[in-house]
Amino acid sequence: MKKTVFLFPGQGSQSVGMGEDLYREYDFVRELFDMASDMAKMDLARLCFKGPMEELTQTVNLQPAVTAVNLACLAAVRKERVDPDALAGHSLGEYAALFSAGVISAADAFHLVHKRGELMHRESMRTTGAMHAILKLDIDCVQELVKEGQRLGIVSVANHNTEQQIVITGQPEAVEAVSSLAIEKGGRSIPLKVSGAWHSELIRGAEEEFQNELASIEFRVPTRRVVFNVTADEETDPEQIRVLMARQLCSPVRWYDSMCRLVEAGSETFVELGPGTVLTGMLRKILPRDFPERIYNVSDMKTLEKFFHDNL
């Protein structure tokens, strides 16, 4: 296969029914769901396949649920011995990337995302937060507007997803002010349906406790290249990876820079493994126009079979 990157989605990619046909098809997928359900102390298969969406979307439930589907899609691809040259995950998806690279075990991945979900949920209950997507403006412009908005309260960049799709996060009044400034500059603002101000100072209270959780887990040297959200760069030192995963909670997700780095490194085939098509949609906006487009999403049996048909 051509130089291949596996990408793993995070919160916002969920849908009721996700992973169900893979669960019915493969014993190893059922085993993954059982492991995740035991760790999270909930029936994740029922939640993923039947919903309701409101319950599925609660971050404490969603993080282990999306991770279970991400790892199920990965396992389905791996059964044909397809392995990537490089890996990246969007926020929560970074834990599936770490497992895929051999840095942490599946059990530890589920343990960490369950704890991460609990801590983020706790912090969101303590403070009211908001997130808006800002479109049609570049990162330098949005950073300037954020700087102005910080006079009114906590606000920062949460995600730099594409060149002109940037998510801001923080206290509602400050987020609204930055959105208004963005509209004045010719941008668009879309409020996001989230239960907290993710990747902001408002959830800083979770960081120290999560650091302690990370310290209890064995981190190993990656077997594949991993590009990390916090730095948009690779890292091979297990202790530095542990530090990056702690910083990731409150730091911006530098997705645009990460994808540009992978393209510059010669990556030719991109495969989103998990529910939805959020990452492949963003990738099509990032890749150069003359890029020989080889983009796949593997989220169910139909998309899995297409990927195998085209690549094996």
228 with 98, same domain: the answer is: yes
285 with 307, same domain: the answer is: yes
74 with 27, same domain: the answer is: yes
CA–CA separation, 31 and 46 (whole Å): 14
Q: Tokens 């589907």 label which residue?
A: 69
102 with 20, same domain: the answer is: yes
Q: Which amino acid makes up residue 146?
A: V
Low-confidence ranges of the chain (pLDDT < 50): none
Q: Helix, strand, coil shares of the chain as percentages rounded to 5? A: 50, 15, 35
pTM over 0.85: yes
**Contact at 8 Å (CB) between 45 and 23?**
yes
Q: Tokens 């409020």 label which residue?
A: 191
**Contact at 8 Å (CB) between 217 and 104?**
yes
Q: Residue 116's closest CA among 97, 94, 100?
A: 94
Instruction: Give the pLDDT confidence of 8-63 residue by residue, as tens digits.
Output: 999 999 999 999 999 999 999 999 999 999 999 999 999 999 999 999 999 999 99
The whole-number pLDDT of residue 312 equals 83
Sign, CA dihedral 166-171-172-176, equals negative
The whole-number pLDDT of residue 1 equals 59
Please state at what angle helix 106-126 crosses helix 27-40, rounded to 10 degrees.
40
Q: Which amino acid makes up residue 222?
A: P
Q: Which amino acid makes up residue 9?
A: P
> Does residue 242 fall inside a structural domain?
yes
50 with 13, same domain: the answer is: yes
144 with 95, same domain: the answer is: no
CA–CA separation, 143 and 212 (whole Å): 32
> Does residue 46 fall inside a structural domain?
yes
100 with 206, same domain: the answer is: yes
Pairing state between β 155-162 and 4-8 = unpaired
Question: Which residues are catalytically annotated?
Answer: 91, 199
The whole-number pLDDT of residue 293 equals 72
Torsion on CA atoms 22, 25, 27, 28, rounded to nearest 10: -30
CA–CA separation, 205 and 275 (whole Å): 30
CA–CA separation, 66 and 186 (whole Å): 35
37 with 185, same domain: the answer is: no
- In the chain, DSSP assigns E strands to 4-8, 86-89, 130-135, 155-162, 165-170, 188-191, 225-226, 269-273, 295-298
Instruction: Give the pLDDT confidence of 76-98 residue by residue, as tens digits.
Output: 999 999 999 999 999 999 999 99
Rounded CA Rg of the chain: 19
Report how many domains make up the chain: 2
CA–CA separation, 104 and 50 (whole Å): 30
84 with 150, same domain: the answer is: no
**Contact at 8 Å (CB) between 198 and 158?**
yes
Q: Which amino acid makes up residue 178?
A: V
Host domain of residue 99: 4-125+201-311
29 with 97, same domain: the answer is: yes
**Contact at 8 Å (CB) between 176 and 191?**
no
